[in-house]
Amino acid sequence: MELAQLRYFVAVVEEGGFTRAGARLHVSQPGVSAQIGQLERELGQRLLDRSGRRVTPTEAGRAVLSYARAALAAVEGVRRTAEEFSGLLRGRVALGLVPGAAGAVVDGFDVVEVLGGFHDEHPGVEIALSEDTSERMLAALLRGELDLAVVGLGGEPPPGVRVQVVLDEPLVAAVRADDPLVAAAVDGAVPLSALRGRPLISLPRGTGMRGVLERACAQAGFAPRVDFEAAAPAVLVRLAARGLGVAVVPSGAESAADPRTGTDTGTDGSDSSRSSSRNSSGLCALRITEPVLNGRVALAWRTDGPPGPAAHELLRRLRSGAPGRAAP
């Protein structure tokens, strides 16, 4: 039995097929199939069910899978530990980001600046960046597919994950100045119940902010009517400025894009853009009350820590540049 065979087996299970596994490992499909066949002959068990459109593990394969992953993790741990003692930072760090996080600077928390400084000092470390919904990134973090993630929190983090909140802002209803919500607002605020039946514009399901909205509406006795979804708050604001609905976004996001030009104006994380409830295009931001809703963005990692010195060092740098404290 060879480590390569275990690596191929795990890849086929995770990718659901030999061709996709081969592409991931940069190995031909026949090569992957041959190695898996040899592993099955050595063990005397069929590990994979090839009868369906998607390759799945057999009962024996499921039993072997956890040991295969543990063996691969142990070998990687040996390598990384040896590198740590030699004073070298090498390897790969997988970092997940909510869409827009790389371009935002919040209270001095600048992901791009931290990554740039880290790469300058440790060019031997490969940094793999990906964007996804918070729900899927938290699951990937627990599976070990991500080392670190910047996620939106819709509630408490799942067991096995620690977080450090880097942004905590009230959610607002961004609408055109001629929207009936503006006339009905009291002191620039509307109750959550005022959004019942209104066409809403929101981040997709699986994001922290969408989770906050859906849970609050369920507790208020109605389901939100989300007509439009987009991955970035600036896009939600532009849709609202065209009269397509009510955008539910973090406070300040209504000034993150100028709907008159369709270009992002950016934000430096200061409060100067949040002092007014109406931006230059006439878009109004109404505070949502009864209850007040908050959108939170957090740096997340597994409670047992990242699996190597490179990820540990990147986590240290990100945490030192982030406001707030880690949750226990």
Q: Does some domain include residue 205?
A: yes
Tokens of 100: 């827009």
What are the average pLDDT values for consecutive 10-residue runs of the chain, which has 328 residues? 89 90 87 91 91 90 91 81 62 84 62 88 88 89 90 87 88 91 91 94 87 91 93 86 91 52 35 42 85 89 83 88 56
DSSP-derived letter for residue 131 is E
Closest CA to 164 of 295, 300, 321, 294: 300
Q: What is the pLDDT of residue 266?
A: 36
Q: Does some domain include residue 327?
A: no
Q: What is the pLDDT of residue 275?
A: 34
Contacts of 134 by beta carbon, 8 Å cutoff, 6+ apart: 98, 149, 151, 152, 153, 154, 206, 207, 208
Measure the CA–CA gap between 47 and 40, rounded to whole angstroms: 6
Q: Same domain for 28 and 50? A: yes
Q: Same domain for 238 and 121? A: no
State whether residue 292 is helix, strand or coil.
coil
Q: What is the pLDDT of residue 89?
A: 65
Q: Looking at 68, 86, 104, which one is the last position of a domain? A: 86
Tokens of 198: 């209104």
Q: Same domain for 300 and 289? A: no
Give this prediction's pTM.
Answer: 0.60
Please count the structural domains in the chain.
3
Q: Same domain for 37 and 63? A: yes
Q: What is the pLDDT of residue 104?
A: 58
Q: What is the pLDDT of residue 74?
A: 86
Q: Does some domain include residue 326?
A: no
Q: Same domain for 161 and 300? A: yes
Residues pairing with 93 in the sheet: 127
Q: What is the pLDDT of residue 252?
A: 67
Q: Which long-range contacts (C-beta less than 8 Å, at least 24 apart) are formed by 112-121? A: 113/321, 114/314, 114/317, 114/318, 114/321, 115/314, 117/317, 118/313, 118/314, 118/317
CB–CB of 205/73 below 8 Å?
Answer: no
* Percent of the chain that is helix, strand, coil (3-state, to 5): 40, 25, 35
Q: Dihedral, CA atoms, 86, 142, 156, 286, nearest 10 degrees?
A: 90
Alpha helices in the chain (DSSP H): 3-15, 18-25, 29-43, 59-86, 111-121, 134-143, 180-184, 208-219, 233-241, 309-320
Measure the CA–CA gap between 167 and 177, rounded to whole angstroms: 27
Q: What is the pLDDT of residue 269?
A: 35
Q: Does some domain include residue 33?
A: yes
Q: Same domain for 178 and 286? A: yes
The CATH number linked to 309 is 3.40.190.10
Domain that includes residue 177, residue range: 168-295
Q: Same domain for 306 and 284? A: no
Q: What is the pLDDT of residue 109?
A: 73
Specify the DSSP element, H or E, that contains 2: none
Closest CA to 210 of 104, 323, 98, 326: 98
Alpha helices in 131-199 (DSSP H): 134-143, 180-184
Q: What is the pLDDT of residue 106?
A: 55
Tokens of 172: 């607002």
